[in-house]
Amino acid sequence: MRSDIVAKNSAIPPEPRALAVYTLGFLQVPYIRRMLKIAGWNVCFGPLRRDVAAVGVWGRKPLSKRGFAAAKRRNLPVVSIEDAFLRSNHPGPASAPCGLIIDKVGIYFDASKPSDLENILNGGGLDEPRLLVRANNGIAFLKANGLSKYNPVPRNYGRRPDAGYVLVVDQTVGDASITSGNAGAESFAKMLMAARAENPGKRIVIRTHPAVISGKKSGHFSQEDCDELTVLQTCRINPWDLLEGADAVYCVTSQLGFEAILAGHCPRVFGMPFYAGWGLSNDEQQLERRDKTLSVAQLFAGAMLKYPVWIDPFQNRICSFETAAQFCQAKAKMAWMAAPKSVALGMSSWKIPQISRFLGYDSSKPAFGKWAGPAIAKAKSTGARIVVWTSKLSPQIEAEFKVENQPFWRMEDGFLRSAGLGAKLTPADSVVLDDLGIYYDATRVSRLEQLIAASVDLPDYALQRAGDLQQKIVAAGVTKYNLNGDAVKIPAMGKTVILVPGQVEDDASIRLGTTDITTNSGLLAATRAANPDAFILYKPHPDVLAGLRPGQVENPLEFADFVVGNASVPDLLAKVDAVWTMTSLLGFEALLRGVPVACLGMPFYAGWGLTDDRGQSCDRRTVRPDLAGLTHAALIDYPLYLDPVSKTAISPEGLIKRLALRQNRRGPRLRMLAKLQGRLAGFAHLWR
């Protein structure tokens, strides 16, 4: 999915105009005012302002009558505002939407009069080839990632009904889209009767609205409507999974009917929602204004690419659907990964606030423990999982988990970590959670290894996104730590230039990812032996340079021609011909920039045919992904990302922009501790 193609509505926003409102909701929810201002409207309290351009109302709630009356009295147009069709993890003011509907004609769910959406769908411009490519990619993206208006659970969550059923979609009583969509309570009774009559002998699954399951609202169906062939689906399940198992779909005005069309169904529709009347549904009613036959891609293009105003919350500007969908995916993924209760083990005290944000995102905060026994007891008593910082996972602790039959996850820093070193107590903006192993341990399978192997089957839009991400990283000069380094002039005199990155020698990636060569001096010697005429640059690891970790080479110039200390990694990679490494992440960063890499160990990016592997082999790594597939697995699928400024989930594309600006908030306590630890470098094990 191309994130760099910006929809028409993402042009430079107009100068904000005054929008008079007559309900307090607009004034009480700060993000609504902010989003409307980005879209060109300054919200003001109607009775106190005369110089206004329009009156704003929220959908067709009962209180919106105040706005309509004021607009009529003041001879002003009405702007109807609603959440966009891709909103957030949960409903309600606690979760900001990804975008807004700002309709100057009507509102999409009111069939009694036209709306901007209806005019878009009736008009031209929906057969433009690039628009249809975006639409098809957008549909595939939502389906693959299980994204809907609300996103409480991922795909393959819980137990779905056995396939082959008729899906009947319930809605909440009092939903404005029902009455505005030419329907009522009788429409639901009629729908169920039709589903039974038109599908004799087939199982019927009634999908209960999530707000009814949570007890906040009432639905139109209850247990009294069930029989031997009819059941209520009251367990939480991803809508795309529910649609995938259905043979037929019946609905009134629910958005699930729209998603049914995207999933390939021709739903039987008993109201007049925005997606009915275009030849894509079996409609009980007709609407003369809708006389055009659309394709699924055209319907999606109008409803998702052209109609809403999508907002980039991190740069406070209008963005494309693709960018908004990536943010929505990041938030949903973070919430889904944090949903199970967690007991965190082996976490350094300075990391706890940030780890709490990752493991407690949109859910209960994790408990923290220092010892395996109490952590296991806590996990078993609360039904929680254990999450261990991988470097603190000893064979003894792992054996204790095995004896107690206690599953656990490993946690580590991600590959786009922060603007600053972890050894200097800069919180990580990215982590990985692995239920199988960990990416740097070549002795066993990891979740990343499985994702890389599966990347050979990624669709074109996903590979395109990975390629775009790779280009953004290179253009922004982003690396793992994003330190401000110096540009280096290399006196190579026409020789082949090889960069050798030093590593922390007690790092687990050395212990678990190398065999014969395990030291920086050994790496330099092997590189020189294989390249006697090359110009070899040696770059010590930043933690080693800072005196915080072991790995110093006594005489690097015995094998190297030049030592670079505080050098810019992007600048170096732009000037070298190759990188030779044991397991350094700098090898992956070189691959992203098209620099050949020789590996004397087995890092996560080796063994796939993308590197010159001169160390051990890995029999599990048999497939041959391309660089885009590796990038997608390592930087999109595997990690979680947290915005260093707002402390909310962010997409990798969004974090790259933050890191390029070196935006990373480290509180005064951590700054003071970092200075103190610099004076006590010999005792680094106390805070690592």
Average pLDDT over residues 536-560: 87
> Does 529 have pLDDT greater than 60?
yes
- Nearest-5° angle of CA 290, CA 296, CA 297? 110
Three-state secondary structure call for residue 147: coil
- Tokens 């019927």 correspond to 204
The residue type of 77 is: P
- Alpha-carbon distance of 233 to 614, in angstroms, equals 55
CATH number for the region 455-660 comes to 3.40.50
> Does 48 have pLDDT greater than 90?
no
Average pLDDT over residues 659-673: 62
Please report the sign of the dihedral spanned by the C-alpha atoms of residue 11, residue 15, residue 19, residue 25. positive
Q: Mean pLDDT across the chain, nearest whole number?
A: 92
- Name the pTM for this structure: 0.92
Task: Write the CB contacts of 545 (distance below 8 Å, at least 6 apart in sequence).
Answer: 565, 566
Q: Tell how many helices (H) and how many strands (E) occur in the chain.
A: 25, 25
Q: If we measure between CA atoms, which residue out of 344, 377, 379 comes closest to residue 358?
A: 344
> Does 6 have pLDDT greater than 60?
no
Three-state secondary structure call for residue 105: coil
Q: What is the structure's pLDDT at 214?
A: 83
Q: What is the structure's pLDDT at 668?
A: 55
Tokens of 273: 């929602």
Which of 127-131, 317-321, 416-420 is predicted with the least confidence, judged by mean pLDDT? Answer: 416-420
User: Predicted confidence band at 551 (pLDDT cuts at 50, 70, 90)?
Assistant: confident
Tokens of 397: 């602790």
Maximum Cα–Cα distance across the chain: 87
> Does 528 have pLDDT greater than 50?
yes
> Does 678 have pLDDT greater than 70?
no
Which is more confidently placed, 574 or 663? 574
124 Rama sector, left if φ>0, alpha if ψ -120 to 50, beta otherwise: beta
- What is the side-by-side order of every strand in the sheet holding 165-169? 230-233, 204-207, 165-169, 246-251, 268-269, 282-283
Query: Do the bridges between strand 597-599 and strand 578-581 make them parallel or antiparallel, or are there none, so unpaired?
Result: parallel
- Alpha-carbon distance of 658 to 556, in angstroms, equals 35
Q: What is the structure's pLDDT at 34?
A: 95
Which of 29-33, 292-296, 437-441 is predicted with the least confidence, judged by mean pLDDT? Answer: 29-33
User: Predicted confidence band at 585 (pLDDT cuts at 50, 70, 90)?
Assistant: very high
Cβ contact 165:202 at 8 Å: yes
Q: Tell me which DSSP letter residue 568 carries.
A: -
Average pLDDT over residues 243-247: 98
- Alpha-carbon distance of 630 to 637, in angstroms, equals 10
The residue type of 444 is: R
Query: Do the bridges between strand 497-501 and strand 535-539 make them parallel or antiparallel, or are there none, so unpaired?
Result: parallel
> Does 10 have pLDDT greater than 60?
no
Query: Do the bridges between strand 408-413 and strand 367-369 make them parallel or antiparallel, or are there none, so unpaired?
Result: unpaired
DSSP H helices, 43-161, are 64-74, 116-122, 129-145
Q: What is the structure's pLDDT at 483?
A: 85
The percentage of the chain sitting over the pLDDT mark of 90, rounded to a whole number, equals 82
Q: What is the structure's pLDDT at 1?
A: 56
Cβ contact 115:287 at 8 Å: no
Helix 129-145 to helix 255-262 angle (10° resolution) is 110
Do 455-660 and 149-295 have the same topology in CATH? yes
Cβ contact 406:386 at 8 Å: yes
Average pLDDT over residues 325-330: 98
How many alpha carbons lie under 13 Å from residue 436 in its C-beta half-sphere?
14
Q: Tell me which DSSP letter residue 421 carries.
A: -
- How far apart are the two ends of the chain, measured CA to CA in Å? 39
Average pLDDT over residues 472-484: 93
Average pLDDT over residues 59-66: 92
Helix (H) or strand (E) holding 21: strand 17-21
Q: What is the structure's pLDDT at 670?
A: 46
User: Predicted confidence band at 437 (pLDDT cuts at 50, 70, 90)?
Assistant: very high
Tokens of 552: 């110093």
> Does 400 have pLDDT greater than 70?
yes
User: Predicted confidence band at 665 (pLDDT cuts at 50, 70, 90)?
Assistant: low
Question: 207 has which bridge partners?
Answer: 169, 233
The residue type of 43 is: V
User: Predicted confidence band at 9 (pLDDT cuts at 50, 70, 90)?
Assistant: very low
Cβ contact 439:432 at 8 Å: yes
pLDDT tens for residues 602-623? Answer: 999 999 999 999 988 999 999 9
Domain ranges of the chain: 1-108+307-338, 149-295, 340-404, 455-660
- Alpha-carbon distance of 320 to 8, in angstroms, equals 8
The percentage of the chain sitting over the pLDDT mark of 70, rounded to a whole number, equals 94
- Alpha-carbon distance of 459 to 116, in angstroms, equals 33
Q: What is the structure's pLDDT at 493?
A: 87
User: Predicted confidence band at 664 (pLDDT cuts at 50, 70, 90)?
Assistant: low
Tokens of 252: 């009134």
The residue type of 439 is: Y
Cβ contact 427:670 at 8 Å: yes
Top-level class of domain 149-295: alpha beta
DSSP H helices, 514-574, are 520-530, 542-545, 569-573
- Tokens 């048999």 correspond to 622
